[in-house]
């Protein structure tokens, strides 16, 4: 689809600024492998300018600082942003589809969610006003205590490429609602809508420096944000390997971090399910967003008594998925994000074959698509738990299948992983679902579904899937310092020491 890419610079202190080193990064359309534009490449020098702008906006003189504004005041900006995103929805959807390869219908839902997220956190900002000076019950009448919730400061936000603007919004909206100012570094593989968001900030009159947007490579722009002494907190979504590096860097300054990292999520099918309903949820749970989801339920555990029928039906459903240019009507699987990601996924599949796994369907480029980073949706069986494809995150349209015979075995297989982001369990026996839910070592469990995510509910993982929670009331708490204030209201001497 012909749709011109906007030409943007870095967004710093409310202005568009050319990178100090004047470098740029090409934008590659993953559907055609063609260069369709470029984005600015920030470096540590640009980070320094952005952090200074964010610090100035956080705390100015004469009470004009963003940190001192009321939640109600900040909510007005967030609601204006939500309205402007809705107004420009068509523009953002087209850019998101073109830049990331995400099917158009999915991009529509994502941009709707962006607006909803800003609207929700506007409400959370307003509620924050009511929570200020919340009293604490004490055991001694002579003292009175209350709690202040104050913004943590200037925050560094590093977001991924699979949900470019939405994942950035999960961080921007609560940070601004809390009264923080921010420096955002989106993934260099899909940054266009995040840069366009700077235009929205100016249109709604967001004060300069409250949000700064730097595109660029991780080592050049992301690492300097993490290590900068005037960045008070870092929130990151991405791979576990990068999360580990961020954690180590932040530890040098004892800087708090929130990490939403990789996953290898199980989906458990018991013998009493409705097979077609469960099959559809299964393929949705792993092929949605072109298989590029940290929470993808990519390890299918199916009861041995229904395994043959279930897998046969899943193959038929999978072969019926429309793979095409993401702008085509009815597209349900587009390209993966880049040549590097394509090669990585294909290597996983090749290694699985060499280790003795069977590729039931998919595993190669679709015959009708000669260009673009397209991979057929892939089902892998004859799996052992020692195989790379079973243990490691593929981050592509690939699902592995293994059978079990008992509930305890299913739980043991599900939990036998270094990750702990999400899981799904399917059964008509809701008591069994409740037992299994409690036993699963993850941050989120879906019962008789997979992947629905709502801004009102907490999101995050355990183990190597990270820590901290985004979304819901938990999301705004990530960006707040909790301060205890205790007063002696008696007016009397304490009496611990004797007077001279």
The mean per-residue pLDDT over the stretch 142-156 comes to: 97
Q: Does 126 participate in catalysis according to the annotation? A: no
The secondary element (H helix, E strand) that includes residue 11 is: strand 10-12
Q: How far is it, in rounded angstroms, from Cα 45 to Cα 27?
A: 23
Q: How far is it, in rounded angstroms, from Cα 498 to Cα 197?
A: 64
Contact 277, 243 (CB under 8 A): no
**pLDDT recorded at residue 1:** 55
* Ranges assigned E (strand) in 58-189: 134-136, 143-151, 154-158, 181-185
The mean per-residue pLDDT over the stretch 49-57 comes to: 97
Residue in the block written with tokens 């005041």: 73
**Model confidence pLDDT, tens digit, residues 343-392:** 999 999 999 999 999 999 999 999 999 999 999 999 999 999 999 999 99
Other Cβ atoms within 10 Å of 12 Cβ, number: 26
Helix residue spans in 179-258 (DSSP H): 192-203, 223-227, 240-251
Strands 419-420 and 462-463 come out as: antiparallel
**pLDDT recorded at residue 3:** 74
**Model confidence pLDDT, tens digit, residues 100-130:** 999 999 999 999 999 999 999 999 999 999 9
**pLDDT recorded at residue 242:** 96
Contacts of 3 (CB under 8 A, 6+ apart): 94, 95, 98
**pLDDT recorded at residue 64:** 65
Q: Does 294 participate in catalysis according to the annotation? A: yes
**Model confidence pLDDT, tens digit, residues 456-468:** 999 999 999 999 9
3-state DSSP helix/strand/coil % of the chain, to nearest 5: 40, 20, 40
Structure token digits, residue 219:
């080592």
Strands 211-213 and 378-381 come out as: unpaired
**Model confidence pLDDT, tens digit, residues 248-299:** 999 999 999 999 999 999 999 999 999 999 999 999 999 999 999 999 999 9
What percent of the chain has pLDDT above 70? 99
Average pLDDT of the residues of the chain: 97
**Model confidence pLDDT, tens digit, residues 190-201:** 999 999 999 999
Residue 61 has pLDDT above 60, yes or no: no
Of 326, 331, 97, the closest CA to residue 193 belongs to 97
Residue 166 has pLDDT above 70, yes or no: yes
pTM of this prediction?
Answer: 0.96
Of 221, 128, 134, the closest CA to residue 176 belongs to 128
Contact 106, 288 (CB under 8 A): yes
Q: Check 117, 201, 294, 433 and give the catalytic one.
A: 294
Phi, psi (deg, nearest 5) at residue 106: -70, -40
What percent of the chain has pLDDT above 90? 97
**Model confidence pLDDT, tens digit, residues 423-450:** 999 999 999 999 999 999 999 999 999 9
Q: Check 96, 260, 376, 407 and give the catalytic one.
A: 260
Contact 128, 149 (CB under 8 A): yes
**pLDDT recorded at residue 2:** 60
Other Cβ atoms within 10 Å of 312 Cβ, number: 12
Of 370, 289, 283, the closest CA to residue 96 belongs to 289
Phi, psi (deg, nearest 5) at residue 256: -65, 145
Structure token digits, residue 406:
């008992």
Angle between helices 104-131 and 164-178 (to 10 degrees): 10
What is the Cα 169 distance to its own chain's centre?
Answer: 9
Instruction: Give buried/exposed letters for 24-45 (b at 16+ CB in 10 A, else e).
Output: bbebbbbbeeeebbbbbbbbbe
């Amino acid at each position: 689809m012909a749709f011109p890419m906007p030409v943007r610079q870095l967004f710093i202190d409310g202005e568009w600024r050319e990178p100090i080193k004047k470098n740029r990064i090409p934008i590659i359309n993953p559907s055609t492998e063609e260069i369709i534009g470029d984005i600015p490449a920030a470096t540590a020098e640009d980070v320094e300018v952005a952090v200074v702008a964010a610090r100035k906006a956080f705390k100015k003189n004469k009470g004009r600082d963003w940190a001192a504004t009321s939640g109600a005041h900040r909510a007005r900006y967030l609601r204006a942003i939500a309205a402007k995103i809705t107004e420009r929805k068509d523009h953002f959807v087209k850019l998101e589809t073109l830049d990331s390869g995400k099917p158009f219908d999915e991009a529509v839902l994502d941009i709707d969610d962006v607006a909803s997220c800003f609207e929700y956190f506007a409400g959370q900002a307003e509620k924050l006003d009511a929570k200020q000076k919340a009293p604490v019950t004490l055991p001694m009448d002579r003292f009175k205590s209350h709690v202040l919730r104050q913004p943590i400061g200037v925050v560094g936000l590093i977001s991924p490429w699979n949900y470019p603007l939405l994942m950035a919004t999960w961080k921007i909206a609560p940070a601004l609602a809390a009264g923080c100012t921010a420096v955002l570094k989106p993934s260099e593989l899909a940054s266009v809508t995040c840069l366009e968001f700077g235009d929205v900030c100016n249109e709604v009159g967001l004060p300069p420096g409250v949000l700064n947007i730097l595109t660029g490579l991780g080592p050049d722009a992301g690492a300097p944000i993490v290590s900068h002494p005037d960045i008070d907190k870092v929130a990151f979504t991405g791979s576990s390997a990068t999360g580990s590096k961020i954690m180590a860097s932040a530890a040098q300054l004892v800087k708090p971090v929130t990490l939403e990292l990789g996953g290898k999520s199980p989906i458990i099918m018991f013998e009493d399910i409705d097979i077609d309903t469960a099959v559809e949820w299964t393929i949705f749970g792993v092929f949605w967003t072109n298989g590029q989801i940290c929470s993808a339920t990519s390890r299918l555990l199916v009861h041995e008594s229904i395994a043959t029928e279930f897998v046969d039906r899943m193959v038929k459903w999978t072969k019926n998925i429309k793979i095409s240019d993401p702008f085509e009507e009815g597209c349900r699987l587009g390209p993966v994000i880049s040549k590097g990601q394509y090669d990585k996924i294909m290597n996983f599949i090749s290694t699985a074959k060499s280790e003795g796994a069977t590729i039931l369907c998919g595993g190669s480029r679709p015959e009708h698509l000669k260009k673009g980073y397209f991979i057929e949706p892939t089902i892998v069986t004859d799996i052992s738990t020692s195989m790379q494809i079973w243990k490691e995150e593929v981050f592509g349209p690939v699902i592995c299948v293994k059978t079990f015979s008992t509930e305890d075995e299913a739980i043991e297989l599900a939990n036998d992983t270094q990750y702990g982001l999400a899981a799904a369990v399917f059964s008509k026996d809701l008591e069994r679902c409740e037992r299994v839910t409690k036993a699963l070592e993850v941050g989120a469990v879906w019962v008789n579904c997979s992947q629905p995510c709502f801004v009102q509910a907490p999101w995050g993982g355990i183990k190597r899937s990270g820590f901290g929670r985004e979304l819901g009331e938990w999301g705004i708490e990530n960006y707040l310092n909790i301060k205890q204030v205790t007063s002696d209201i008696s007016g009397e001497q304490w009496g611990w020491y004797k007077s001279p």
